[in-house]
Amino acid sequence: MSTIDPTVAEAGDAAATTNYGRNISPVLLAAALAWAATAGLIEYWAEIIPQPYGRELAAICLGIAVIAALTALSGTVFGRIASILRYYGPWLIVAAVILAVWEVLTAKTGILPVPFFSSPQSMLEVFFDDWERLGTSVAYSVLLLAKGYFFGALAGFVTGVTIGWSRTASYWVHPLLRLIGPLPATAWLPLAFFIFPTSGSASVFLIALATAFPVTILTWSGIASVNRDYYDIARTLGAKSSFLILKVAIPAALPHVFVGLFMGLGTSFAVLVVAEMLGVKAGLGWYLQWAQGWAAYNNMYAALLVMALMCSTLITALFRIRDWTLSWQKGLVRW
């Protein structure tokens, strides 16, 4: 029967302990303590004005603390989720501190007066009690933004490729772009609502107009900056004009196109809110106006939070599309 050298066994145990210690994330442990402390603050410090959903908010904070602690102690057992939480560990700490300060300044001490400053509990109350109206508004906004952004991006891309490739088109379109493009899309509100039969179609036009200008300019810049040697080589191999546009010019200009798409997304989102405040029956812009009319500031702040998350999600999705489309750039430029 074989025996194991005690010295070797002790060394193995020490190595395992060391590896386990390396897997523990002190940042996530600190985040777990911060969220647990925030939960205790919400639960045990009395509010100056009793508010609903305080216990639910404390339970949410405690749940985040438990998840952070389990992830910190389990190493890489949870795979990609663990990696994401470890990466955003410092932000988890900052978020807990911000929530605690927000809670103290509003619900606990009233330094920030009601109703102009809402407490975290009142925000949570909106998501629990008014989720149907808020969810409907989000759905309408997403649909309206998708329509306007799609048509604007398509028109801007086609126009940018056209004027970037054709000198004749550039001669005629360039002055119009310089004249009309810098004007804010909201300046066309009276004309849009007069020309289009419905407020919805007018809103789609305004969002498309806000999207089209940056996409056109950046696509045009990308097409115009393509290395001429690429065209010469392709022509030498017998390529026609359609091949040069579809297989040479457009792929080379895609990095510029995506910059234009990112800029167009930001401007279209700003126009979306303004367009929805005028003549529509649902949407986040309409919801903001409704909340302001009834002095429901907690609803207004909740809608602003949803808008921020919505915009961030759309930008993240566009980044993913860009990374997939421009995967050939890896190793050539810094990502």
pLDDT at 63: 95
Selected from 3.40.50.1370, 3.40.50.20, 1.10.3720.10, 2.60.40.2140, the CATH number assigned to the domain covering 131-326 reads 1.10.3720.10
**DSSP secondary structure of 3-14:** ---HHHHHHHHH
CA distances to 135, 206, 216 from 126, rounded to whole Å, are 11, 30, 40
Average pLDDT estimate for 71-88: 82
Average pLDDT estimate for 41-54: 88
Separation CA 96–CA 221 (nearest Å): 44
Average pLDDT estimate for 41-68: 91
pLDDT at 276: 82
User: In 3-state terms, what secondary structure has residue 57?
Assistant: helix
DSSP label of 247:
I
Contacts of 193 (CB under 8 A, 6+ apart): 199, 202, 278, 279
Angle of CA points 91, 96, 102, to nearest 5°:
120
In this model, does residue 296 exceed pLDDT 60?
yes
In this model, does residue 121 exceed pLDDT 70?
yes
pLDDT at 10: 44
pLDDT at 279: 66
Q: What is the pTM of this model?
A: 0.81
